Structure 1
Amino acid sequence: MEFNKTEKTSVPSNNRRSFLKKAGIAGAAALVAACDSGAQENTGGGPAILSKKRNLKMVTSWPKNFPGLGTGAERLAKRIETLSDGQISIKVYAAGELVGALGGFDAVSQGKADMYHAAEYYWQGKSQGFNFFAAVPMGMTANEMNAWVRFGGGQELWDELAGGFNVKPFMAGNTGVQMGGWFQRDINAIDDFQGLRIRMPGLGGEVMKRLGAAPVTKQGGEIFQALSQGNIDATEWIGPWNDLAFGFHTIVKNYYYPGIHEPGTTLSLGLNKDLWEDMSEREQEIVRAASAAENDIMFSEFTLNNARALNTLVNDHGVLLKEFSQDILTRLASVSAEVLTETAQNDELTGRIFKSFSEARTNGIRWGEIAEQAYMQARAAAEKS
């Protein structure tokens, strides 16, 4: 097949300079007009340019540069800045630098900070409903939480709850299944919880209380000292990776599992709602995408590093890995159900959150039994044979 040759159009030499000058001016004018349009119309539908430079403050509940949590918050802030071509700049403050570890919610709600990175159960004093968007005893795994929040109505309920406090929330990290904790003494029966002073926040702490323990809430940076000085008898924190970093193994050797109180703890990014509503669609999508990315990346990071750190704790530091007995786990499940049912009765919105959460959890259990759980049992059996 032959293609028609394009005829050349000649421009007289004495007009060529004028022609090029006019073309250059027209092109530049079109570019300026496009940029002006993108800057003036804050719709996100024009050229890839943001309307204003934003210098924002993120407060966190984590020690500075703490593995996984602190570094995850830094990574999230950096990703937002990169995706926005530097138009959104975020300065990250560790716990205690701008506000206390548990002060992020109020700071963001009141506009004293622009965003926080934390765990929602820290805000249970505002509403018991916040617990369900972090972790609750015998709750959902990371995959199940992602499914519920993204596709099961969880995000809409979360928006309604947090929106009442002038906050817009997103999932922005997950630690996976946590450990049961570090115990100075053996836990062989339910009676061994009697009088036990244990660091455990959220509804998990309420479960411990009903078993006769004395739960306390302490921020991460306070736990080592409390444990080393004998102010508490036991503590949970997160899992092997972070527990190794804090050095709990230098004080206690009994390391119990599983952590039924936090089976897949979601970390969150909360933005001041006024700030969120002032953002263009493109800015909002940048925040949304960056949060979703960090949610998945952090979970992957914890999965790998927890496995490595557990080997180090057991093989290099003589930590005694112990499993709660089935009798203890059955009792923990029973008390957990009581606590969640009573929590749902606090107010109408928490009741709706609990109903939606419970339906998603039931579906997750049913599917998990014939999917991941069945496969993992088969894999484990094959590994041992």
Structure 2
Amino acid sequence: MDQKKLDRRRFIKTAGVGAGTAVAAATLAAPAIAQSAPEIKWRLTSSFPKSLDTIYGGAEFFAKRVSDLTDGKFQIQVFAANEIVPGLQALDAVSNDTVEMCHTVSYYYVGKDPTFAIGASIPFGLNTRQQNAWLYMGGGNQLMDEFYAGYNVQGFPCGNTGAQMGGWFRKEIKTVADLKGLKMRIGGFAGTVMTKLGVVPQQIAGGDIYPALEKGTIDAAEWVGPYDDEKLGFVKVAPYYYYPGFWEGGPTVHAFVNIDKFNALPPAYKAAIESAAAYANTWMLAKYDIENPKALIRLHAQGAKVLPFSVEILTASFNAAEEVYKETSAKNPKFKKVYDSLVAYRGEADLWQQYADGTFDRFMSYLQQQKKV
């Protein structure tokens, strides 16, 4: 056999081996790639009605971001309150694996354990910036997730409303005595504090507040702030609009995930959930800060009487809160562990606030009153 034929046979044989290797490699690689980016569909139940396009919309924003980060492979369908379960049962639905996720506020579940409140907001706790700092950088997320694990969920901060208003009242509230016997829709741990001042707290989902106020079943209700409150029409049935909502200086809205379902996700999908939640956390606050000022002006034009709580009421409320924290810490070690961490940070944060944002904000408020800005 001449040299040319021999070389040609060697080439064909070598090429065949190379092609076979390439095919084999492609066969092995394809499942590995598909396995790392599977198509997954989850359900998320919200505690809020669709009409609240910011606090409910935060869940839609989150879900879209997860889809975008995974090239559409990881789809999360969002359901409003009552479409799968009632709004105040959202966490239970995740805990018992009815759905994979929910979007809610953890203080709704203080009936299970008051520690739930700390992950969202507690009376005279932290403002929004401080809350984010404590959660992300001060160990708050780790402490809360250690607690949440007992309910088979993991939490991701996924929204914040900023400091809320103190709520709508059917009559004027001037003194602590005016609070006695007052039936008030107030969420979470704040209800326990207000009980010490004679308030009778009512746990009512957002969509049910207006008819309760209209019928006189309740005398007052706190919800969020001007933008959402305007949508629910409270000014028509309870014209006295008080501030501040001292029980919610910077309340975090969480995306809760079933732990087993989260642990089964590919690492990239876990990262997508964490990143999308953090983005939604910023998005929600920014949207409220754009919409609330305009809504407050409109509410005033509709007859809202915007009034501050008296120093007497604020002082009595602070003292009541301190009493509740002391009592709760004495009998609940889980609460004490997380609360002690938050309070330690609050002392440092409030000191810094005096020199930075607090001083700046007070002067800008003065300029506003002088009609210079």
Counterpart residue number, 1:340: 325
> 1:340 and 1:128 mapped to 2: Cα distance?
10
Counterpart residue number, 1:15: none
> 2:204 and 2:19 mapped to 1: Cα distance?
65
> 1:380 and 1:255 mapped to 2: Cα distance?
20
> 1:27 and 1:237 mapped to 2: Cα distance?
62
SS in 2 for 1:103: helix
- Deviation string, structure 1 residues 292-343 (Cα, Å, up to 9, x no partner): 000011011111111110011113x021110111121111111111112222
Counterpart residue number, 1:105: 91
Counterpart residue number, 2:109: 123
Q: Is the 8 A contact 1:196 1:234 kept in 2?
A: yes
Q: Is the 8 A contact 1:199 1:232 kept in 2?
A: yes
- Deviation string, structure 1 residues 45-100 (Cα, Å, up to 9, x no partner): xxxxx1x2111110111012422111111111111112111111111111111111
* Alignment counterpart, residue 248 of structure 1, candidates 231, 234, 239: 234
Counterpart residue number, 2:342: 357
SS in 1 for 2:293: helix
SS in 2 for 1:116: strand
Could you tell me which runs of 5 or more consecutive residues in structure 2 were left unpaired when the two chains were aligned. Answer: 1-11
Counterpart residue number, 2:361: 376
% of aligned pairs identical? Answer: 34
- Deviation string, structure 1 residues 24-51 (Cα, Å, up to 9, x no partner): 99888766654433334x5xxxxxxx1x
SS in 2 for 1:169: strand
- Deviation string, structure 1 residues 200-240 (Cα, Å, up to 9, x no partner): 12121112211011111100010000000010111101100
Task: Write out aligned runs for 1:1-385 (5 A).
Answer: 34-40=29-35, 42=36, 50=37, 52-315=38-301, 317-383=302-368, 384=370
Q: 1:234 to 1:34 in 2, by over 3 A?
A: same
Q: Is the 8 A contact 1:128 1:346 kept in 2?
A: no
Could you tell me which runs of 5 or more consecutive residues in structure 1 were left unpaired when the two chains were aligned. Answer: 1-17, 43-49
SS in 2 for 1:303: helix
> 1:342 and 1:328 mapped to 2: Cα distance?
21
Counterpart residue number, 1:7: none
> 2:276 and 2:325 mapped to 1: Cα distance?
32
- Deviation string, structure 1 residues 359-381 (Cα, Å, up to 9, x no partner): 11111111111110011122233
> 2:26 and 2:294 mapped to 1: Cα distance?
53
> 1:228 and 1:178 mapped to 2: Cα distance?
22
> 1:161 and 1:167 mapped to 2: Cα distance?
9
> 1:211 and 1:362 mapped to 2: Cα distance?
26
- Deviation string, structure 1 residues 122-178 (Cα, Å, up to 9, x no partner): 111222111001111111111111100101011111111111111011100000000
TM-score normalised by structure 2 residue count: 0.91
Q: 1:70 to 1:28 in 2, by over 3 A?
A: farther
Q: 1:327 to 1:280 in 2, by over 3 A?
A: same
Q: Is the 8 A contact 1:181 1:235 kept in 2?
A: yes
- One-letter code aligned to 1:376: D
> 1:125 and 1:208 mapped to 2: Cα distance?
16
Q: 1:27 to 1:181 in 2, by over 3 A?
A: same
| CA-CA distance at 1:276 after TM superposition | 0.7
- One-letter code aligned to 2:103: H
Q: Is the 8 A contact 2:51 2:231 kept in 1?
A: no
> 2:208 and 2:122 mapped to 1: Cα distance?
23
Q: Is the 8 A contact 1:179 1:239 kept in 2?
A: yes
SS in 1 for 2:151: coil
Counterpart residue number, 1:10: none
Tell me the matched-pair count.
357
Q: Is the 8 A contact 2:169 2:219 kept in 1?
A: yes
Pairwise CA RMSD of aligned residues? 2.0
SS in 2 for 1:37: helix
- One-letter code aligned to 1:374: T
